[in-house]
Structures are given as structure tokens and as C-alpha cells.
Amino acid sequence: MSLNTTRLDRFISQHLSISRKSVRLMLAQNRVSVDGIVAKDIGLIINKFSLIHVDDVVLQEKLARYIMLNKPIGVVSATSDEQHKTVLDLIDITNKQDLHIVGRLDLNTTGLLLLTDDSRWSKQVTSPESKVAKCYTVTLKYPLTTQYISAFEKGMYFEFEDITTRPAILEIVSEHVARVTLFEGRYHQIKRMFGRFRNPVLKLHRSAIGNLILDERLAEGENRGLTDNEVKNIIT
């Protein structure tokens, strides 16, 4: 069982300093609700964000936080760093140390970065099985050709990891600018893929994760909370 989850009867027993037998009686009397639903199962697994009532008393009410940040260049995707400013340094909320990053960006990569204290949600977004698309705008040193499109679509073999990347979508926006959509997140993947063409990446900007698009109203370094619909619908 995760450190962030526990059984309902254990939680109530510890919180109210009563026996689990007494908790069973409470459930039988329909006195306990979890997330607005009357609880019947003493073995129900709850987490730190479950809303728990006994009678009319709230035993636990903690809302998960979901944040969109427009990451600037030179800021580290980390919660602490001795040399560089971190993304947490850009956020001014209470208990921000409880947040973690949902898919990192390199030091010199800009754009959409997500933070949350809901580990279940972040695992769903970053899980390879979810195949959540991530869209990037890439500025390159040398001109693009149509050869790039087919090469990205086929995937590329990375000898160090002994893997072939999943098919990626490359759209040529202009002579030196491409829009790339990945369905995974290998180490420096975009730079390494363009490296096969010996074409250095000059700028890299993430504009979208799944159905979530970076809010254009956010200046670099600014952030805002996600709406309920954005949280629910980031994955189709």
C-alpha cells in the first residue's frame, strides 16, 4: 500500500482514538461518508485527498493542487538546487515543498511545466502506457527538409539505451522551425534526434501536454492553477 493511502477503518480509528469495531458500527449506521458518498466498506482505501465526514464533522479535507508554469531559460526543473534558480522559486504558495514536477524540462528549454502534489495524477500523465502527447516548437541552426518527417515517423535507434523511439510527428513550420510531437520522454530526445542530422537545436519550447495547451497569457516565470476540466481532460 502506498504511503499516501490507508484503509478507511484504520484512518478513523487512529483519528478518533476508537476501536475498529466502533468504526464498523459507524459504517453500519451510515454515519461515514467519503467524497460525498456513504461508506459501507471498512477496507475502503482512501488517500490524503479523500474528503471524509463522520456525522457532520469533517475529519479530512485537503484539496490537491495542479499548477501550470511557463518555465524560462536558466531555471532548473527541480525542487532544490545549489547553483540555479528552481521552478519552486518561481511559485509563491503555502507548503510548496509538497509539490513535485510532472515531466521535467532541460535547463535551457522553455514552456509548459506542470507541478502537483497529487502523485496518482502525475503518474497517470507521465506513464508510458498513457502515451500522452507532448508538443514542442524547435528552432534549428540549419534548414529542414522532408527527410526529417519520415525519419521522425519511423523512430530512431538509441544505442546507449538499446531502444528505438516511438514514432514522432514532425511538421515543418518554416525553414528553421519545426513542430515536434512526442509520445514518450527519452533523455534529451529531441536534441538527439536532430543530432542524427547534425543539426543543432537553438531553441526548444514545450507548448502542450496532452490536451493541455500553455496559457499564452502567462509571461515567462508566471504560473496559474489548472481548472477542474483541465485536470480531468488532459488525457483523452
Instruction: Tell me which residues are annotated as active site.
Output: 106
Residues 5 and 120: their CA atoms lie apart, in Å, by 11
**Letter for the amino acid at 28?**
A
Residues 45 and 53: their CA atoms lie apart, in Å, by 15
Q: Where are the alpha helices (DSSP H) in the chain?
A: 8-16, 20-28, 119-126, 147-154, 189-195, 228-233
Residues 140 and 120: their CA atoms lie apart, in Å, by 36
Q: Where are the alpha helices (DSSP H) in 68-204?
A: 119-126, 147-154, 189-195
Tell how strand 201-209 and strand 110-116 pair up. parallel
Whether the CB-CB separation of 123 and 111 falls below 8 Å is answered with no
